[in-house]
Structure 1
Amino acid sequence: MTTVKTNAIRRPPLIKWFAFQAVVVFLMGALFWIKSPVAAYSALAGGFIFLLPNVYFALKAFRYTGARAAKQIMGSFYKGEAGKLILCAVLFAIAFKSIKPIDESALFLTFAIMLVTNWLTPAVMGGKTQHS
């Protein structure tokens, strides 16, 4: 009799990943402090405009596990992504409406850096999510 070894797909270590990304946001704020306090808080806003919708997505997308929940998994990914985009747009609108003065370049540059950081986080943090 042989035993079948299955590779269960695990959730990625989201708390570690988001903690790492939050550190990057605060580092960007500190770097922009060199330019000005306005650039610093604008950079923080840009970073959190990226980070908060991604936390929402992760909470939605990784609610279900297992092959039997494939339909729920797909649905939660689509709902999470739609909610993330809407939340991102709302947060940008709030930032531009309520943060005065604002350094647009610091806000958008930090947002863009967080996009790249998001792509690199699994590699930097040891992104293996499966057992072998």
Structure 2
Amino acid sequence: MLNIRRPPVGRLITLQLGILLLISSLFLLESALGARSALFGGLAYWIPNSLFALRYFRHSGARRMGAVFAAMMAGEMFKLSATVVLLAGTLMLIQPIDGPALFTGFGTMILSHMLTPLVFSRVANR
């Protein structure tokens, strides 16, 4: 019997949120505006990504690959759309905003999305 372990989605999401809070705290050393902007920028990526991950990895073992693929593509479109809406909404509705801090928070979440699974796979293989 094939034993495929599910990824630790909850731990990955929590680690990414911790990274965002750390980055926001570092900006707090400079200004509250920078900290708030970095937090909002990171949340614009983290919220849709987390919702997608929790929904997608909720079930294991798919029998219909076509349906799974279609659901994943729909989830990715939701994630992308929600990210754009949250980021644009933040830029339009939250004033004043520190643009470089906002995009640093956003970019940090993109990097953490790519790097945290790598970190977890290295820890699991030890």
Work out whether residues 60 and 79 of structure 1, in 8 Å CA contact, stay in contact via their aligned partners in 2: no
For 2:62 and 2:97, the matched residues in 1 are separated by: 47
- The letter for the 1-side match of 2:107 is A
Count of residue pairs the alignment pairs up: 124
For 2:117 and 2:88, the matched residues in 1 are separated by: 30
1:49 matched to 2:49? The reply is no
Aligned to 1:95: 90
For 1:32 and 1:106, the matched residues in 2 are separated by: 8
* TM-score, normalised by the number of residues in structure 1: 0.84
Percent identity (aligned): 37
- The letter for the 1-side match of 2:66 is K
The offset of 1:122, in angstroms, is 1.2
In structure 2, stretches of 5+ residues that fail to align are: none
The offset of 1:64, in angstroms, is 4.1
For 1:127 and 1:57, the matched residues in 2 are separated by: 24
In structure 1, stretches of 5+ residues that fail to align are: none
Work out whether residues 62 and 68 of structure 2, in 8 Å CA contact, stay in contact via their aligned partners in 1: no
For 2:62 and 2:25, the matched residues in 1 are separated by: 44
The structure richer in helix per residue is 2
- The one of 112, 115, 119 aligned to 2:107: 112
Aligned to 1:62: 57
Work out whether residues 38 and 101 of structure 2, in 8 Å CA contact, stay in contact via their aligned partners in 1: yes
Work out whether residues 64 and 72 of structure 1, in 8 Å CA contact, stay in contact via their aligned partners in 2: no
- The letter for the 2-side match of 1:57 is F
Aligned to 2:81: 86
CA RMSD, Structure 1 to Structure 2 (Å): 1.9
Task: Provide runs of 4+ in structure 1 moved above 3 Å.
Answer: 126-129
